Each structure stands twice: as C-alpha cells, then as structure tokens.
Structure 1
C-alpha cells in the first residue's frame, strides 16, 4: 500500500495516493458536444516566419475538428479580439465555417504587446455562451513572449475566474517566453505546457493535441472528500503524469470537492494530505479520516458520484518516538517533487546569470533523477551538463536559453510508470450500519465509519481502505 494507516504517536499529518483512470468507451464513443477555443499570439514578436508557421499550425488544428464542434478563435496581443466567428459566441464547425475560420487566421498581422490573461478572459466569455452544461470546454494557446502588459496579480485574478470553467493547454514558441508563466496557466486550468523551440514542430503538436482533446467525453471531474471533524484538508496535489497544486475547493452538501479537470484515456494520480491534532485521536484505534468519492459532471449538467466510496483509515500508535517507516511510494512522490523544484531552480538561476547556483541545482537534480530512474528528465539534464575543473558536474556555459526553458517546463513531468496507490473501491454489505458509540445510522449501507464521530462500524470486521 502507498500509505500505511499506522501513524507515529506525535504525527500531525496523514497522506494518501489516489489513482483515477479514464478508460476508452467500448464500442461507439458517447455523443458529447465539444467546444474549442484556439488562442493565437499575434504580438509584434511573432513577425514573419513565426506567425506564418503558427498560422499553418492553427489551420491544421481547425482541420482536425469534427463537424458539429463549437469553435471560437481569439487573436491576442496586448488586447484580445475574437476573430471567429465574426458574429460573436461560438460557431458550429462544418465545411463552410472551417474554411472561413482558416481565412480569418491567415489574415492576421503581428502587432502590439502581450497580455495573456486578457486572452484567457475572452476565452472564458466565449465558453460562457454555450448553453448546454454537459459540453466539454477546451482551449489551446501558444505564445512566444513574456506576459509583459499585465501584472502577475492581474493574471492571477483572471486565472481564478477561469478555473473549473475550461481546460487549457499552452505552448511556448522559440526562446523568449518564460516557463513559470506557462506552468502557472496550465496548473490552474488542468492543462499541459510544452516548449516548442523549433517552430516548424508546432503543426504536428497542435494536430495531436486537438485529436486528444476530442476524445474527452466527461466535461469535469471532482475528487469528493468528506472529512472526519478531527481532520482538516492541507492540500491536494496531482503527482502524475504532471505535478500540479490543486488549491481550488468547493463545498457541496458538507463534502469538499476538488476540481480535477478532465482528460482522455489515461491515469492520473493525486496526493491527499490531511492535518490533525494528535491529541484528538484515541491511541491504537482505527479511525476513518476521510471518505473519498469521484464525481463527474454528466451531459445534463448534474454532478453525481461515478465511483464507489473509499475510506482513508488512520491509527495513532502508542509509543512516543517510535519510528514508523514512511510509505516508499509517498517517499518517491516527495523526491519527484524535489527533483522538479531543483530543475526549475537550475533553469531560473541560469536565465538570470547565477551560474554557481545553477551548477548546485543541476547536481542535485541529476542525483535525484538517477536515484528515481527518471530517464526522461535525466536526459534533459545531461544534455546541458559537463565536467567542471573540480571534476564535478556543472552546467555547460553554452547551454541555450531554449534548452533551459525546456528543463523548466518539463520539470513537472513525472515518470509514466505508475506507483502502487490505493484504489477507489469498497465492499458492499447491503445492510445499514449503526454507530455503537453515538447511535448514528450511516447514510450508506457500505459505510465503514461513522460520519458523525468517525468510530469504526461493525464488530471487528476488516476495514476497507482506499
């Protein structure tokens, strides 16, 4: 198991890893409507061949869209203009509208500055025009520059207003953008960030991205957490295939819902961390700290459970100072997070000219990648490494800005090999459960712990875990 239920006597934190897997539907895919907003950077820095290649990539992305898809295109610089459809809202894709959209993309000129938040805000307005609540909403943007015409606070405010409204993937073109900005956007909007240093690669990237986006059939997913009153939610982090802090929370009927976005057939893993006062836990007693359920938004707009509930169980051990070995899977997750932080610190230090700091972070990141067997990130690090006069690895002094940006943006990508994590499943008994401590009747016949006081239900039977 990824997280043992046993906790040291003075522990104040309990963690669990949860894996959520989306499977391809057997037979024909469900008919779920999709809304796509393509955001193109037309700032002055996109002049000449950059904009030409970007137009080619945008037109290729439009060609991949199925008939019936809803489409809008935003052209952005220091402002945001909806260039398609000219009538406002989103247009239904067919042969005629597809050609019209490509003509409007082809007619764009490079001018002005960069205000990415304005582009995202306009995309949110377009998605708001969709009447069907069960529509999958997906945006894609590229930029070749820094977000220079708005403050970080303005961008943060817009990202908060867009969160859980749509998914957004972002691409950095060339070598003049910054990885922190792209990661900030995609982590808030459940997307991926990529470095496209060679502009000619953008067309292949966009077409693949659009095909994957059209395989999404669930508009939104949520991790539902019903906590025992003695526990508080510290954080929820996505740990694979990319790392992201998920801080947005909603409270529905006494249950905390953490938005997870939505994705095609793949597995994603999340780390849930709870805080508590150890003095409130009875020693050597199994206790349900949280009940975990996956919720989905269905085509009619309702949000309903789509998995069986599972219990996160803890037990405070009696011996103060007695060491309990930490879960190796959670230890790996923490080390992967440290590796990503070291990679970003290395890239940031090199970009600001602090080469001594960059060397130290490179050595730390390389050591962590080697111990984790993370060949993908290790390959990136070794590509910019050399041996210094002291015989130790150091950053190559001729490492390009594009290489460092790729290290920064790929720092959040964890290995695809899944670690063992607790499954969202429980065993059904079909009988109502009554708490022997407070006489509360459980709302579900599968309940293993009292929702009122957290006491185990049943007479000494096995306890289901995540």
Structure 2
C-alpha cells in the first residue's frame, strides 16, 4: 500500500510589515506499486510514432525498434494501442473500426502489435494535433482506463497552425499524460516542451537513432512503475491571503499556478499526475496580511490528495508565518528556497539565451548564458554546466564571464534547451 510523507522547509520569520511567505514542500511516496493498481481504475498506454515523410530510413527503423522495445515493457493486462502520425493520425494497432480502441496487453497482442509496428512506413506531413486528438479518443473508448499515458516521438516541426495544436493540447490537458521525444535536430524544442509541460510529461532529444531503444524502454518502465494515478496537490490559504505561485521545482520545473481548480474559496487543487516511488519538491509562495510583532499565523496548508469516491488526504505540510523584530531571524533565506529560486532563474536564463542566439542577438545571448553559467555553479548543477560548456567558452565561472562559441553542434544546443528544466537537489536540513 502506498504511503506518502510531507516535509516543509522555510524561514517562517517575517519582519515588521512583511507579507510574503515562501516554502519548499517535499512530498515522498513509497510502496506505490505498478500502473493501474491503485484501485481507482486501470492503466492505458499509447505509443505515438511519427511516420511522416521526414523520417529517414535509419530513423524510421530505429523508431520501429524502439516502439517494439517499449511494448515489451508494458505489463500484461494494461490497455494499449499504437498510433502512426503523419498529417493525420492512424490507428496502427489494434485493427478495429468501432468499439474500444485499446486492447489488453498479452503475449498474443504484444506479438501482433510488434508485427504491426514492423510494417510502419514513412510518408506524408506532420499534424501533431491529430495525434493528440486520436489518443484522447482511444482512451475515452475504454472508460475503465483512468491512468492514461502516451509516448510521442517526432522528428520534425509541426506543419499546422499553432492554434490547432494549442486547441488539441487544451483538449488533452488534464485527461492524459504524455512524454515527448524529438529524434534528430529538425524539430522545435519549444513546441514539444509546450506539449510535455501541459500534459505533465517530459521532453528530451534523441540525437542518434541508436539511442532510441533505450529511451523508449526507460520511459515505459517509468510509466509502468506509477501505481498512483492522478494525485492532486491541495493548497489552502487563509481568508484574505493570495497564492502568488505554486510550482514543482524537482525533479523538473513545472509551473502549476494557472492549473488551479477551485475546491472552495480558500482551497485549490493543482495537478501532479501519476506517482511511483519517488520524491518531488514544490515551491509555494503566499502573500498574507501583515500582523503585529510576536503574532503567528498558518499561511498555507499543503496536502497530497488521492483520487476516489471520497478523496483521501495522503500527506500534509503546514506553512507558517511568525512576525519578529529579530533581524537575525528575519534576514535568513531558507537554503532550499534559495536553491530552487536559483534553479528557476537558471532555466529562464538558458532558454532566453538560446533564443537570443538564434535571433542573432549575440550581446543578449552572452549576458544570459553567462548568468546561466554563474547560476549553475552557485546551485551545483553540474549537468547544466557541462551542457553549457558545449555552447560557450567559460572564462570565469563565478562571475559568469563567457564567450559564445562560433560553431555549435545543433544537437548540443537542443540538449541544453531540453535539459534546462531539470533541477538538482541539495541535502535537506531544517531551518
């Protein structure tokens, strides 16, 4: 049976007139089990493979092999389907025209699906909105499937209007999760990141076809390990308070503020998707009315709520505020809050720097990427530093002094972009 714990890291002391309270809330899950085992419904998986004309012979062969490898990781009994995506979406498996669009995984269906994947060929354009819409329709054809996950691979830029894709993302948001992967370097990071962030998934680059099999296996194994479906982060704040933001800050940065669903005037739910045995950190910022020196107040109550006929509070953390005239207490910034504030700025600096470089604004790119180097060093994000070194020459890491490299491998640049929202942790200790 799954167990959750919550821990709160903050400096609760505010100076006279202080109003803004920041806290990192760590939620940890253990004993989550496997997908579809939470008792609230069954699990469904859809593998979406780009079969447009841009998929070259080697990439297409690797995609077929990767998709077949992913099939091998899907647990027996899980509902699943395979979608081939071009300028329209086609159901590659199962071969049905009406009724349920998903079938249960078994030795027989796994073999049949692998055979169907082996016959996929490239041709046509790219309209990702149709891929997402078909996935939604397939999931809805089997009502008992409540834990819904898709794996989407593309190698090229979407060839339809942004509004069509945005509308499709909107229809899928809150209905199924989706991990996105881009093969090669002819796709847009921002495009896939928009899909992945809205659908509570991940985005990454697969630079070489030979890497596809391992990435597909990793994604599917992770999905199969998520035994808790559709948990919510429930945040209460007192009358008159304002939630400034709610965001996941580890293992990746995910902005949740605008995803709030009202429970009552003082309480809102924020989506977290499915859980495995893992730990996630959330940054909660609340603005409260200032109180007199010596007074205390509960600034927020943060809960993880599990789905069901009667939603279950699985863990709870309390965010507090105490007004003090002791400057030694009020001047401290909690190390967890400081760390993740730096990580959020790091992600923005990388993305803005790369965008400026692409636009030919070398001055802004140098400034932003230099700041990124400085922040990566300050927050101990060695992966970011390693990736940044492939884009800039670092002269002074502490000062953020860099020079743009004249020649940069596009795959390295895209890898830096996709990894910008991955964060690093520091050891937890109380304040």
- After superposition, where does 1:204-219 map in structure 2 within 5 Å? 204-219=214-229
Matched, 1:198 2:208: yes
Residue correspondence of structure 1 range 122-133 to structure 2 within 5 A: 122-132=134-144
CA pair 288-323 structure 1, distance change in 2 beyond 3 A: closer
- Aligned counterpart for 1:252 among listed residues 255, 263, 270: 263
**CA gap 1:356/1:69 in 2 versus in 1, 3 angstroms:** same
Give runs of aligned pairs for residues 19-418 of structure 1, distance below 5 A: 19-24=26-31, 30=37, 33-87=42-96, 88-132=100-144, 135-151=146-162, 153-246=163-256, 247-253=258-264, 255-278=267-290, 281-297=291-307, 301-302=308-309, 304-317=311-324, 324-386=331-393, 393-417=402-426
Aligned counterparts of 1:9 and 1:352: Cα–Cα separation in 2: 46
The superposition leaves residues 170-223 of structure 1 with CA deviations (integer Å, 9 ceiling, x where unpaired) of 111101112112221221111111111112101011012111211111111111
Distance 1:355 1:303, change over 3 A: farther
**Matches of 1:421 and 1:111 in 2, distance apart?**
57
Q: Distance in 2 between matches of 1:202 and 1:402?
A: 15
- Check 1:25–1:3 CA distance in 2 against 1; reply closer, same or farther (3 A cut): closer
Question: Which whole-Å CA distance do the structure 2 matches of 1:380 and 1:39 have between them?
Answer: 29
TM-score, normalised relative to structure 2? 0.88
Q: What SS does the aligned partner of 1:220 have?
A: strand
**In structure 2, what is the equivalent of residue 8 of structure 1?**
15
Distance 1:417 1:5, change over 3 A: closer
Residues 62 and 210 of structure 2 are in contact (CA less than 8 Å); yes or no, is this contact kept in structure 1?
Answer: yes
Which string of whole-angstrom CA distances, capped at 9 and with x for unpartnered residues, describes residues 243-283 of structure 1? 010121212355311111123221111111123443xx444
CA displacement at 1:105 relative to structure 2: 1.9
User: What are structure 2's unaligned runs of at least 5 residues?
Assistant: 1-7
Over alpha carbons, which structure has the higher Rg?
1
Distance 1:62 1:421, change over 3 A: farther
Following TM superposition, by how much is the alpha carbon of 1:418 offset from its aligned partner in structure 2, in angstroms? 5.1
Question: More strand by proportion, 1 or 2?
Answer: 2
Local SS of the residue matching 1:260? strand
Counterpart Cα distance in 2 of 1:68 and 1:415:
36
Q: C-alpha root-mean-square deviation of aligned residues, in Å?
A: 2.7
Q: Are the aligned partners of 1:362 and 1:394 in contact in 2 as well (CA < 8 Å)?
A: no
Q: Distance in 1 between matches of 2:194 and 2:428?
A: 26
Alpha-carbon separation, structure 2, partners of 1:355 and 1:413 = 25
Contact (CA 8 Å) 1:194, 1:406: kept in 2 or not? yes
C-alpha distance 228-392 of structure 1, shift in aligned 2 (>3 A): closer
TM-score calculated relative to the size of structure 1: 0.82
Q: Who is 1:455 aligned against?
A: none
**Aligned mates of 1:62, 1:421 — CA distance in 2:** 44
